[in-house]
Each structure stands twice: as structure tokens, then as C-alpha cells.
Chains A and B, each alone.
Chain A
Amino acid sequence: MSLQEISFYIVAACIAVCSILAVTSGKILRAVTNLLFVLFGTAMFYILLGYTFLGAVQLIVYAGGIVILYVFSILLTRSDKDMKYRQRRAKWLSILLASAVGAALVLFLILTNDFAGSLIPQGFEYPVHEIGKSLIGTDKYQFVLPFEITGVLLLACMIGAILIARKEK
């Protein structure tokens, strides 16, 4: 086993266990901590794939921004006392059954499909200046329009969030 395989399997086990804990744990702060580990694991996946820029963005945006936002809003809304309400048992069982059947179906499709076979390309790390040029270029396979639209969307949602969350006088 190479170092890459070992680190992949450690990260994969961490993601699987933490994502199960994130949806089953009874305390919401623990759920958020488990979500944080899942997000770290996702960033590790991107880095293992060679997309180091994407991994850095994942770390900055999710671990640095979104999880902090979650923690603050949990403390602000005193969410921990709301975690004791649960679904009825029959409904919970049917949900568990439906998700298990869905997961089994998708896993069956993935495992029986021989797409990519053993096609494992020789990879290399994408340089950041190429990513930057693709983000602001206007040619084919370059993405200036979605980039600008994302900027407008972020501005709109910032204004919207301030308007919604503002205290009314």
C-alpha cells in the first residue's frame, strides 16, 4: 500500500463515520463538530485528487465561514433544547428503510457498472494561474459569465440576509 492509498482509506473511514454521527447525534453542537470533520475530509479528498486550489477553497469557505456561522446561530437560537423532539417511531422506521434501500440501490449500480474500468490517468496538479485564467476568460471552456453571476448572487444574498435578519424598529 502506498502513502496515498493509506491516507485515502483513513480519510474515507473518517468521512463515513462522521457523516453518520452528524445526522444521528442528539446534541446539535456535536453534530456540527462532526460536520466540520466531514468537511475537512472532503478537502483532503480534493487535495488527494490533485485539485489543491479546490481543497483550499473548501477549507476557507466551509471550515472558516459556514461552520462558524452555524455555531453562532446555534448559540443564538438556543437550539439544543429543540433537539429532543423526534419523529414518530413508525415514520422513523420507514425513513430509515427508504434511505437504506436507496443507498443499497445506488451502491449496487456503482459496483456493477464497469465505467472507467481500471482507467486511472496519470495526473498532475493544476497550476493556480491556469485556474485563474479560466475563471476570467471568455473563450470556450472559460467561465467569466458564471463567475460574474456568482458575484451578483453573493451580493443579492448578502443584502437579503441583512434585510431578513435585521431587527425591526
Chain B
Amino acid sequence: MELEVHVIHYLIVSTIMMFCGIYGFFTRKNLLALLISVELMLNAANINFSVCNRYLFPDALEGHFFSLFGIAIAAAETAVAIAIIINVYRNVKQVLTDDITDLKG
């Protein structure tokens, strides 16, 4: 199988994903919507790792494994974050960023 798409096109798509994630992370107020933006950013980073591995070092597999571990850690992070969000909902009955100010000094 030959690769016919230039590396820059992959990087442009992942840049769009990354900055959509950053925009959503700062504009959303719902905690779950915030988490969706984080997923977008993590995916963009994973795409970059595997694309750079594939095009620049096609004999190695480091980027591939980095993406693999990145996916596993993203799953762990999501599980813990959703547990925390459900706990927040149980206490204050809504999941907004403005509600979680109790830890402020």
C-alpha cells in the first residue's frame, strides 16, 4: 500500500481539531461539554503522533505505541472525570463550572 496523501494535509486536519477543542474548552460552561473538548484535543495529538511516525520514521513504531497508550490514558481520565461530575451533580444538582468554587480559599 502506498501513501498518496501529503503529510501536511493530515496536520491541517489535526490543527483544526486541536483549536476547535481549545475554543470549546474556554467557551463551554457545562462540565460534560468541557470534557468533549478535551477529547477533541487528545485525539488531535494522537493523530499527530501516528502521522509523524508513519511519514518521517516509517520503520519505527514509537508514535504508534504512544497513540495506543494515549488512548488508554484518555479512557481512564474520562472515567474518573465522569465519576467526579456525577458526584458534583449529586451535591449541587447541576454541572456548571461556576458551581465548583468550594475549594477556593
Chain A residues close to B by CB (< 8 Å): 2, 4-5, 8, 12, 15-16, 19-20, 22-24, 28, 31-32, 35, 38-39, 42, 45-46, 48-51, 54, 57-58, 61-62, 65-66, 69-70, 73-74, 76-77, 79, 81-83, 85-87, 92, 95-96, 98-100, 102-103, 106-107, 110-111, 115-116, 118-126, 131, 134-135, 141, 143, 146, 150, 153-154, 157-158, 160-162, 164-165, 167
A30 to nearest B CB, angstroms? 11
25 contacts between A and B (CB under 8 A): A4-B5, A5-B5, A19-B20, A23-B33, A24-B24, A28-B33, A38-B40, A46-B67, A66-B75, A74-B32, A76-B86, A86-B27, A86-B29, A100-B19, A103-B16, A103-B18, A110-B12, A118-B6, A119-B7, A120-B3, A120-B6, A146-B69, A157-B80, A161-B83, A165-B82
Majority-rule SS of B interface residues: helix
